[in-house]
Structure 1
């Protein structure tokens, strides 16, 4: 059985307009859904939200703009570790066997900005019945110091290397919305929804909804974008929200 990769958007589990502020109520709902669903062979990835993005923005670091300031790198990474600890704590309270995987200690970018993410530890954790929990982070980048690696990038890399059967993105909205606010059932090409894919209104150094759709289209396998209320449905093998199939 191949794994399922589920990404929890940073805006879902934090108040993205207030630095270092958790959205505890929504995180609890999502953790409930994970604990009540099928967590076997599940890999979780969460975004930075108000913990990662505000610190990265303050230091001028993004997926393309790097820094050689070790203090800045530690500050951004520390904020993400704090958020990861909150996520793990909520899962542990519900007896989900979650373990942290910090990309800063494992991943890197080469001089062409290609992400290199070893997955042996993730595969071993899955084999031992654990739920690996990765997160947006900073990573060493050849020629640029350190840059941000987004949760979206991690999902694409994990899904490809682990040959994931299913990929889901839990966002703050119930799917990709058209001009009338209705969920677009399926997107097979970026141009199909380009007019409605605006940038994030909050501080986001990784691309907002447009970046998510682009990342999922690159997978070459069906995925879906949905809201927090549909996590349980996704884990029950349904395809809620917007289906992305490039």
Structure 2
């Protein structure tokens, strides 16, 4: 069984303090992951690392930059966070290997993501746990734009024909007010809770997550840290999407 798991940046970092890892949460999450023997690809978000620098330079998924300093600042911040995640996983006994999207992915002029995944397949087949992250990537005719962790999750899930897809977030699922929506099969059914049917969020907000995950062939689950162990154990915590 192949699992694609995203660790939200808001879960493993303190988003209010630039470049600050929440070590107690990260270590707990890594220990949970280490307890399960499965083929798993991990993606993590930017949290207080990448988002801070991307905002400072005005670069997003749709607004590009040709400023080499901006690209280096965002990428280096994400590499620092990735190193922290990989090291924490390794300390917990997980054979984690970093995979940096800037070096392998790009967008076409029309914005279509091109993400080779053979190296991820090969690492999985040889018993490693690839760890990817949100990043900046080359974008034809635009310079460089942000690649979100959510985009990576969807691209990897499709390319690897993942059996399970999970997004560990700061909330216990997709919320309608204070209540977790148990399942979503159609965006229009939850549009009222996510800002309406025309809601968009280029930074990877919940509306964008739901739209992208509904397009997957397999169901995805959105849950918080408490839902991670049930998810890895085959359960259905939080909100099932699709």
Shift of 1:205: 5.9
Q: How does 1:200-239 map to 2 (within 5 A)?
A: 206-239=203-236
Q: Which residue of 2 aligns with 1:26?
A: 25
Matched, 1:67 2:78: no
Q: Which residue of 2 aligns with 1:5?
A: 4
Alignment check: 8 A CA contact 2:136 2:144 kept: yes
2:136 to 117, 135, 138: 138
Q: How does 1:175-194 map to 2 (within 5 A)?
A: 175-179=173-177, 181-194=178-191
- Whole-Å Cα distance in 2 between the matches of residues 110 and 137 of structure 1? 16
The Cα offsets for residues 77-96 of structure 1, whole Å up to 9 and x where unpaired, read as 00000000010111111110
- Whole-Å Cα distance in 1 between the matches of residues 12 and 92 of structure 2? 17
Alignment check: 8 A CA contact 1:73 1:146 kept: yes
The Cα offsets for residues 181-236 of structure 1, whole Å up to 9 and x where unpaired, read as 111100111122222226xxxxx962322221122112132110000111111111
Unaligned runs of 5+ in 1: 199-203
- Whole-Å Cα distance in 1 between the matches of residues 21 and 189 of structure 2? 34
Q: Which residue of 2 aligns with 1:201?
A: none
Give the total of aligned pairs: 237
Shift of 1:45: 0.3
Alignment check: 8 A CA contact 2:105 2:116 kept: yes
Unaligned runs of 5+ in 2: 196-200
Aligned to 1:143, what secondary structure does the other structure show? coil
Aligned to 1:193, what secondary structure does the other structure show? helix
Q: Could you tell which deviates more after superposition, 21-30 or 90-99?
A: 21-30
2:40 to 35, 39, 42: 42
Alignment check: 8 A CA contact 2:150 2:204 kept: no
- The runs of 4+ residues in structure 1 deviating greater than 6 Å are none
- Whole-Å Cα distance in 1 between the matches of residues 192 and 48 of structure 2? 27
TM-score when normalising by structure 1: 0.93
- Whole-Å Cα distance in 1 between the matches of residues 11 and 187 of structure 2? 23
The Cα offsets for residues 3-48 of structure 1, whole Å up to 9 and x where unpaired, read as 110001110101112211111111111111101123x210000000
Alignment check: 8 A CA contact 1:53 1:205 kept: no
TM-score when normalising by structure 2: 0.95
Alignment check: 8 A CA contact 1:156 1:219 kept: yes
